[in-house]
Amino acid sequence: MTSEESTPPDETSTPAENPAATPETPAEHAPHAAEAETHGARAESSSDAESSTDAGDADDSESGDDDGESSEAAPAADGTPRRRRRRRRGRRGAKRTPAAGEVAADATPAAEATVEPAPPAPAPKPPQGDAGRPRRRRGERRARGAHPEGERRPPRESQSPAQPEPPPPPPPPRGQPDFMPRTPRGGGLGDRDRDRGRGRGERRDRRQPPAPPVQVIPSVSHLSESAPTGEPLTPDEVVEMKEHLAFLREYKEALRIKLNAAEDLMVNGRRDPTDRGVCRHLLGKIDRNVIEAAVGREPMKSNVAARSRMLAGAIRLTADVGVLLAYLETLAPQRSHAEAAQAFSEVVSRIDFESLSTTRLARLLQVLTETFQGQERVQVLFGMLDGDAFRRAFDAAVTALPPEVAAVFAPLRAVHRRLRDEAHDGHETGLAEGLEQVMAAPDPVLRGFPEALRVRLLELALDPAIPAALADRAAGVLLTSLAKKSGRTYTRLAVRRATQLLARHVDDRARATLEEIKRAAPGFHVAERWLAALDARRMGRTAITGSPPERGRLTQAFWLDGQRPVWLRTAAASDADALAREAELQAGLALPGVAPVVEHGVEHGIPYVTVAVQGQPWSIDDGKPLDAGAALALAAQAARIARAVAVLGVALPDFAPERFCVTNDRNPVLTLADFAGARATSAEEAATTNAASVGVLVRRLTPTVATPTGDVAALIAALDRAALVGRRD
């Protein structure tokens, strides 16, 4: 204890007896004041050090901001006092209580100093948390760490005993949100924390569900509808009728309606509306003819804003669709896009499309084109086409619509018809234009469509009649969105996409698509075969997939443009012209038993021709004779092919089995694939040559059947007769 604390100066002592209270001059007073202030600051610092072990860094306004004042009066080196800048902590405006024996800095020499001992600082209340529990301060946690767990530090003499911890508050009643503050105002929270907690609760309490949009198109007043006329108007109806009367009073000259005496008094405000029949009769005079005549005259004809204001009041008096459309036409240039769109939706909901005329439907669609652009227009029209009434009305009036309106909506209707799998003739005009409008939407919008709609759009875009650029756009956005969800659907559409790319000779992108299919569907053999064909040696667009034949001239191959197995025939470089003539001759026949030519040309100096035919090259093993019925059937097919080409003036040097391809099934089918050595000649010469050539093959197949020579027709008849007899036996 310091001397000032143990023997405080007597309050009634004279200045001579109490030097600390003796008034001095300012120059003499400064050293003594500095010494007294420093001495008092040390005493307070020691007290603060003891209390900080319990309260830690408690509120600086209660524990004292003595850190900034304890060194204020430290003297400088030349003996003059020098004050250090105070550092304020805690609550603003808090002032320190002078220590015992400390003289105020602003004491005047003439005033008698009266010094009282400082009372002990009251123990700070533990701040309350959001749930009413005492908040632990950092100093308290440090102090507790120095004692055994569970042992409380005894309170000091300068502090009041520890407050008992209040019981936890009861849980909130059902329906009360957990984020609401549960402690009453002033229950111990610090100002900042309490405000923060209250603000959180109030902000969340203010959250309300979004209000419904304000109606843009006013509803038709029930006063204008048919109702019993004997009942007087209710007070609410009187208020509403006065609004209608104010409208009539404002536009009486524009509407040019004739009023009787009672109606004139009501319109001019000299009589309150009470009689329901009179009011109903007055409002019934505002019909479509009156309104259309008013908007067709000046000044409303050229003033859109004035016309819109007048129609806004008129549509409350009539439910005519023409008046609704007239008001809707004035909103697009006057209101915001959101309000115009909402107004369009409200008008559409009020229209009965079953009774709507073609002229009014055209006006509605014209407003649609002015209100909505791009993807919004597509979505609005598709939403309307989902309604049966509008769809029937549109289909019935599409041929009578103005050209500019039909040019916008007819293509979209064609796309919508395909998406809904409706009946169509397959020759819709504007299908590509409509699909282009749909695919002009941003990528996130397209990917956000339902999966069924994305699949139908992609199937439509991959149609051969759709331009390649539009198909690329659809495949690039929609195909990837199906990769991980659709399984077989993705595989089917991806194969169609690869087919399209191969037909356009875009092999690199086709390869990438096939690789994606292979990763998405491991073991899918179609993708593996097509990838192998892309890596194989090619003759033009024909990939060689088989080894050279042991007999004959046909090699197994794969046609990339058609994605199907084919057969390839090559020749020496010196026979390029002859092979080209043979290929053109074969392509010009177009007979059922003759393989069509898909490609011919010269690649790497080697002439080639590719034919599309099912089956394998035919070979006859004389050691294993065929069944009599099968042999007769094959011989008859070969004879008919020989006669058919002879009729068209084509002669072949022979009809060896290797020239044909045969299917490997129960009823084998022959196809003439190799035209090597074929030449164009007269039908008579061709018939003679082919009869001799095919007779060799027939006798090899059916050695026991007597066949005529030199006449193919007689040969065919003999073979058919033998087949019939064989079936009978």
Higher pLDDT, 78 or 374: 374
648, two tokens: 């068209």
Lowest pLDDT segment from 120-134, 481-495, 537-551: 120-134
Q: What is the CA radius of gyration of the chain?
A: 52
Q: What is the mean pLDDT of residues 60-74?
A: 42
Q: What pLDDT score does 728 carry?
A: 63
pLDDT for 635 beyond 50: yes
Q: Per mean pLDDT, which range of 100-109, 141-150, 298-307, 674-683 is the poorest?
A: 100-109
Q: How far apart are CA 671 and CA 673, in angstroms?
A: 6
pLDDT of 636 above 60? yes
What angle do helix axes 403-419 and 375-385 make, rounded to 10 degrees? Answer: 70
Rounded CA-CA distance 193/183 in Å is: 12
Average pLDDT taken over every residue of the chain: 77
pLDDT of residue 424: 74
- Res 64 pLDDT > 60: no
Q: Does pTM top 0.85 for this prediction?
A: no
**Six token digits for residue 624:** 């294993």
Indicate the pLDDT class of residue 534, thresholds 50, 70 and 90.
very high
- Residue 563: the pLDDT is 94
Supply the pLDDT for residue 29: 41
d(CA 86, CA 304): 71
Q: What would the two tokens of residue 628 be?
A: 């009599």
pLDDT in tens, 292-327: 999 999 988 899 999 999 998 998 988 889 998 999
- Residue 65's pLDDT is 42
Q: Please report which confidence band the pLDDT of residue 570 belongs to, taking 50, 70 and 90 as the band edges.
A: very high
CA distance 323 to 571: 81
Q: Are 655 and 678 in contact (CB under 8 A)?
A: no
> Looking at residues 221-233, what average pLDDT do you find?
74
Q: How confident is the model at residue 208 (pLDDT cuts 50, 70, 90)?
A: low
Please tell me what DSSP assigns to residue 478: I
Q: Which backbone phi and psi does 594 adopt, to 5 degrees?
A: -115, 130
**Winning range, highest mean pLDDT, from 304-313, 334-343, 362-371, 564-573:** 564-573
pLDDT (0 to 100) of residue 6:
39
User: Which range (552-556, 622-626, 636-640) has the least confidence?
Assistant: 622-626
- pLDDT over 90 percentage in the chain: 43
> Going by C-beta distance under 8 Å and a sequence separation of 6 or more, which residues neighbour residue 432?
411, 465, 466, 467, 470
522 or 185, greater pLDDT: 522
Cβ 540 vs Cβ 601: under 8 Å: yes
* Percentage above 70 pLDDT, the chain: 69
Range with the lowest mean pLDDT among 189-203, 287-301, 668-682? Answer: 189-203
Confidence class for position 726, pLDDT limits 50, 70, 90:
confident
* pLDDT 10s digits, 332-358: 777 888 888 888 888 898 899 988 999
Look at residue 170 in the predicted model and tell me its pLDDT. 52
- Reported as a single tens digit per residue, the pLDDT across 451-487 is 999 999 999 999 998 999 999 999 999 998 886 656 7
